Structure 1
Amino acid sequence: MANIIRRGPFSELMNMRNEMDRLLGDTFRLFDQKLVDGRFGLNPSMDVYETPEEVVANIDLPGVKKEDIKINIVNNEVSVSGEVTRENKVENGTYFLQERSSGKFYRSFTVNTPIDTDKVKATFKDGVLELKLPKAEQAKPKEIQIDE
C-alpha cells in the first residue's frame, strides 16, 4: 500500500522562499542594522567581559595606527571608531586576490553599570585595542554585615 502525501500547489515555492530567507537573513539583518545606526563600514570583532571591579573590551583592529582610533564614552555607551587605510599599489604586478578590507570602522556597546570615566585605560598592542572601564564606586558589589 502506497502512502499518499498531500501538498498544496504552492508548497515548493514556500519552501524555496523560506530557504532564501534563511540564507539571506543574516546579510539583510546586518545591512538593516547599519541603516538604523546611520553608519556603513567595517565592523571589527570584539569581546567584552565583566569582573567585580571593571568591564574589559578587546577589539581587533589589525592594520590600524593608534592615532587613527577615537574612543568616546557617553551615558555608559562606549564607541570606538576610525579608519583602516591600505596601500593598494603593486609595482610590476596585478592582484588576483584581495580580501583585506579598508575604510571606516565603528563599534559601540552599552555597559549596564556606571563607569568611572576618569580612570578608563586604553592600550593598543599587536592590533588589539584593550579598554579597561573601572566601575564607579556605587556600582561595585558591597557585602553587608548583619547586626545582632
Structure 2
Amino acid sequence: MVFVCPEVYVVHDEKNENLLIDVMLPGAKKESIKLEFSKNGFCVEAKAEERGTVYFSCYTLAHEVFPDRAKAKYKDGVLKIIVPFKRETVKEIDIE
C-alpha cells in the first residue's frame, strides 16, 4: 500500500458563511472514508484498494468552524464538505 496525502481545496461560499472543501480521493470507496472534524480542522482517511492507495491527512483551517453542522457528500472521487465558520471582526491595518 502507498500512503498519500489527498489534494484539498478550500474556498468561502458566496455569502461568506461556509467553507466549501473538496478532498480528492480518486478510486476510494464511500464506505472506506472516515472524516473527523474539530473546531480548528479535520482529518480524512480513505482506501482505494484497486490502486493500492491509502489516503490520510489532517488539515488545520484558517477559520474556526462549527463541526456539528458539517455536511459531506462523495461522488466521482471527490469528497465535498460544507461547514459553517465563525465570523470574526477584523481590523484593516494601514501600510506605511
TM-score tier (shorter): 0.7 to 0.9
Q: Do residues 135 (structure 1) and 85 (structure 2) align? A: yes
- The gaps in structure 2 that reach 5 residues or longer are 90-96
Q: 1:73 aligns with which of 33, 37, 61?
A: 37
**Counterpart position of 2:55:** 105
**Counterpart position of 2:8:** 46
Aligned pairs, number: 86
Question: What CA distance in whole angstroms lies between the structure 2 residues aligned with 1:56 and 1:107?
Answer: 18
**Counterpart position of 1:122:** 72
Question: What CA distance in whole angstroms lies between the structure 2 residues aligned with 1:140 and 1:54?
Answer: 13
- Greater RCO, CA 8 A, separation 6+: 2
Give the structure-2-normalised TM-score: 0.76
Q: Contact between 2:39 and 2:65, CA under 8 Å: does it hold in 1?
A: no
Q: Contact between 1:53 and 1:140, CA under 8 Å: does it hold in 2?
A: no
Q: By how many angstroms is 1:130 displaced?
A: 0.5
Higher percent of residues as strand: 2
Question: What CA distance in whole angstroms lies between the structure 1 residues aligned with 2:62 and 2:6?
Answer: 21
Give the structure-1-normalised TM-score: 0.52
Higher percent of residues as helix: 1
Q: Give the aligned residue type for 1:133.
A: V
- The gaps in structure 1 that reach 5 residues or longer are 1-39, 87-100, 142-148
Q: CA RMSD for the aligned pairs?
A: 1.9
Misfit runs of 4+, over 2 Å: none
